[in-house]
Amino acid sequence: MESTPVKLKLSENALKVLQRRYLKKNEEGMVIEAPEDLFRRVAGAIAQADLNYGHSPQEVATVEEEFYQMMTQLEFLPNSPTLMNAGRRLGQLSACFVLPVDDSMESIFEAVKNAAIIHKSGGGTGFSFSRLRPNGDVVGSTKGISSGPISFMTVFDTATEAVKQGGTRRGANMGILRVDHPDILEFITCKDNNTKLNNFNISVALTEEFMKKVEEDGEYELINPRTGRIVKTLRARDVFDQIVRHAWGNGEPGIVFLDRINKSNPTPQLGEIESTNPCGEQPLLPYESCNLGSINLAKMVHDGGIDWERLRKTTHRAVHFLDNVIDVNKYPLKQIEEMTRANRKIGLGVMGWADMLIQLGIPYNSEDALRLAEEVMGFISAEGWKASEALAEERGVFPNYEKSIYAGTKRVRNATVTTIAPTGTLSIIAGCSSGIEPLFAVSFVRNVLEGTKLLEINPYFERIARERGFYSRELMERIADTGSVHDIEEVPDDVKRVFVTAHDITPEDHIRMQAAFQKYVDNAVSKTVNFPNSATPEDVKKVYLLAYKLGCKGVTVYRDGSREEQVLSKGTAKKKEEGMAVPATEVPGGKISPRKRPEVIKGTTRQMQTGCGNLYVTVNEDEMGNPFEVFNHIGKAGGCASSQSEAIGRLVSLALRSNIAPEEIIKQLKGISCHQHAWSSTGKISSCADAIAKALELYMTRGNGNGRKQVDVVMRIGACPECGGPVEHEGGCAVCRNCGHTKCG
């Protein structure tokens, strides 16, 4: 079939993300593939599966063209490994896997090895550690003492850290422990230390029995998985409150409702589901993998209404596409290939939901939005199952069909059809809002080149602002300060109601939207419930209970700025505990004499763009790799700006040499504002003092010097480790909207 010319409309940021992460490169690292070539490569590779079912080369060419048009029109995109690897030598197309971890050294280290192989191929892994005997339990072969699940999690974490260094897509893990495991309290607190388990998301598996005891204020039993015996009982509300307090403090652990997940397990005869993929939306049996893809709902609106026919056609083509992926995929392990082909799970989801609502003039936090969510996802689910039934007629049911809940009811090709996954980088490519999340910001500043700013404005908002006469560059820049129009007087109230952001709506609104979609999703829904910094643990608790009441399968929360507070407090405490810095000298009268400067000292210099010109900030470190002094140089010598920056540098150096924690210095200087603002790779620079604080903060978080906090910590506090851009917490993950970097693979 002759190819139809396609006008591929990609934003500058989408092109940058594609070049950085998806397009083919030669041995010198030069991009040798255009975006159109990528989509042609993927469409051609996936369409080849049709040859297995008696289709002619001409029919396969027609299918290829349909897939190509669907992707280049940005109606549907598959998960990142498929875009990266389809039609290439690696050929590993799955995003998520679950591996078993049984209670033996052989099983544990087999899982470590297999996880490394999966991470090398670009996939993420989920594990349940609930089968492992608890800390302090007997080891039969040696009569020694077990170190418990958390100690073994560090082995997985270390292996992931080693493997991910050379990958194009970062490995990520989910660690799950049942709430009735004897080590549950240790698990809840295992990520309090920011230097550990940075390659894990963690979730507590809550049972129906536990939730019943929470409601009754009763006690529940902890059971040793090795013996099946009751070890002790705990008050359920105390444990629940512990989970809540830690989630409030740094976003982890998340929770999954394990019995609810297994209630919708399509193949219960094959075993119980114990874990999910890294972002929690894909429950899987051991050795299962899943192939995910998302329909862009922003493209499904026409003339002020939903184009149901286009949505139906896209759904059918997407199911066909994802089923083909199972056939052409090169699996990293034989067991995974066998299990995946036997159950043929696919996960079709959506992105651009907020964009659809905006085009229809419906506020995200409204009853109309909830009703439409059920209608849209119900339609996709119904049409998705019709497509799976049609494929079953042509290709046959999935091999484990007779062991499934569908046997004798409906003949289907796939054990599951729908999943709502995070779409961080995919939504950047598609130029739409992420997953089912509300807008991240109405307007924000993105960095194009060092020191060059680009004001990003939501295109729907810009069009309305121009049409209704309240657009101005100055207004858009003011909106970019917070991303919200909530408190902007010039914006009409009816526009404010439609253009709400993640922090303009209540946490309860987040959960209600998640629950509305979950009603028509076979697997689960990946979403982040955003809280303001002022939220209390009780607020988090209410949301958890609401999620349980409304039928969600799990919850991930993020309180704005919470992880930054944790980083600062833990970082300071750690230095005191370990004695990392050489002590200053106390002199009579209780005063501190700063440490003496050695003759030779090393450091790094960073250029920061300020309203007064380029500021060069040099941070020198002591022999332990800790910041020791700061020198500043701005533009031409002399003048007020130069003298002020020099003064700040001297005082910062004095504080550092007197063992004042760098985090405390950053806290004092960051955000100080003057009349001339500028923009750099860290975002808005309010003053020279602010620039110095951010330069020191970057030094502390981006790997300059020994013992610096890891990249994942940077992602937590809102700055991308690759470009310094803003980080959005969405879909149970964190993604940089500037360059596409994500901590979840």
Summarize pLDDT for 335-388 with one digit per residue, the tens.
Answer: 999 999 999 999 999 999 999 999 999 999 999 999 999 999 999 999 999 999
**Which residue from 552, 560, 511 is spatially nearest to 534, judged by alpha carbons?**
560
Distance, in Å, from the CA atom of 598 to the CA atom of 121, rounded to the nearest integer, reads 47
β-pair partners for 132: none
Residues in the chain, total: 745
The residue among 497 and 424 whose pLDDT is bigger is 497
Distance, in Å, from the CA atom of 378 to the CA atom of 181, rounded to the nearest integer, reads 37
Contact 201, 280 (CB under 8 A): yes
pLDDT the model gives residue 586 = 44
| Most distant CA pair in the chain, distance | 92
pLDDT the model gives residue 574 = 37
Does the pLDDT value for residue 724 go beyond 90? Answer: no
Q: How would residue 47 be classed by pLDDT, with cut points 50, 70 and 90?
A: very high
pLDDT the model gives residue 660 = 84
Q: ∠ CA 297-283-18 to the nearest 5 degrees?
A: 45
User: H-helix or E-strand containing 125?
Assistant: strand 124-128
CATH class of the domain comprising 97-280: alpha beta
Average pLDDT over residues 487-498: 96
Does the pLDDT value for residue 445 go beyond 90? Answer: no
Two tokens, residue 187? 């698990």
Distance, in Å, from the CA atom of 156 to the CA atom of 178, rounded to the nearest integer, reads 18
pLDDT the model gives residue 687 = 85
Query: What tens digit of pLDDT does each residue of 662-682 get?
Result: 888 888 888 787 767 776 655
The residue among 445 and 358 whose pLDDT is bigger is 358
Does the pLDDT value for residue 591 go beyond 70? Answer: no
Q: ∠ CA 567-725-481 to the nearest 5 degrees?
A: 95
CA 33 to the chain's CA centroid: 27
Instruction: Calculate the average pLDDT of the chain.
Output: 87
Query: What tens digit of pLDDT does each residue of 121-142 get?
Result: 888 999 999 999 999 998 876 6
pLDDT the model gives residue 569 = 33
The residue among 611 and 213 whose pLDDT is bigger is 213
Average pLDDT over residues 389-399: 98
Q: Is the peptide bond before 532 cis (omega within 30 degrees of 0)?
A: no
SS3 content of the chain, % helix, strand, coil (to 5): 45, 20, 40
Least confident of 4-8, 671-675, 687-691: 4-8
**Which residue from 86, 81, 41 is spatially nearest to 64, judged by alpha carbons?**
41
pLDDT the model gives residue 417 = 98
Does the pLDDT value for residue 168 go beyond 70? Answer: no
Average pLDDT over residues 50-75: 98
Two tokens, residue 117? 């192989």
β-pair partners for 292: 347
pLDDT the model gives residue 573 = 33
User: H-helix or E-strand containing 647?
Assistant: helix 639-657
The residue among 744 and 420 whose pLDDT is bigger is 420
Q: Which residue has the tokens 């099946």?
A: 228
Q: Which residue has the tokens 């829904």?
A: 525
**Which residue from 282, 470, 279, 432 is spatially nearest to 352, judged by alpha carbons?**
432
Does the pLDDT value for residue 500 go beyond 50? Answer: yes
- Sorted by where each begins, the domain ranges of the chain are 97-280, 573-717
Q: ∠ CA 147-712-552 to the nearest 5 degrees?
A: 80
DSSP 298: G
pLDDT the model gives residue 332 = 95
Return the beta strands (E) in 459-553 as ranges.
528-531
DSSP 168: S
Contact 292, 422 (CB under 8 A): no
State whether the Cα torsion 269-274-280-284 is positive or negative. Answer: negative
DSSP 630-641: EEEEESSSSHHH
Does the pLDDT value for residue 266 go beyond 60? Answer: yes
Four-CA torsion 436, 438, 443, 445, nearest 10 degrees: -60
Distance, in Å, from the CA atom of 447 to the CA atom of 735, rounded to the nearest integer, reads 15
β-pair partners for 280: none
Distance, in Å, from the CA atom of 720 to the CA atom of 714, rounded to the nearest integer, reads 6
Residues contacting 713, CB < 8 A, separation 6+: 194, 198, 563, 567, 701
**pTM, rounded to two decimals:** 0.81
**Catalytic amino acids?**
277, 279, 281
Does the pLDDT value for residue 301 go beyond 60? Answer: yes
**Which residue from 718, 694, 702, 686 is spatially nearest to 564, judged by alpha carbons?**
718
The residue among 623 and 169 whose pLDDT is bigger is 623
Bridging pattern class, strands 96-98 and 289-296: antiparallel
Least confident of 260-274, 472-486, 636-650, 664-678: 636-650
Contact 683, 605 (CB under 8 A): no
Distance, in Å, from the CA atom of 670 to the CA atom of 685, rounded to the nearest integer, reads 9
β-pair partners for 295: 76, 350
Residues contacting 735, CB < 8 A, separation 6+: 422, 424, 425, 434, 727, 728, 741, 742, 744
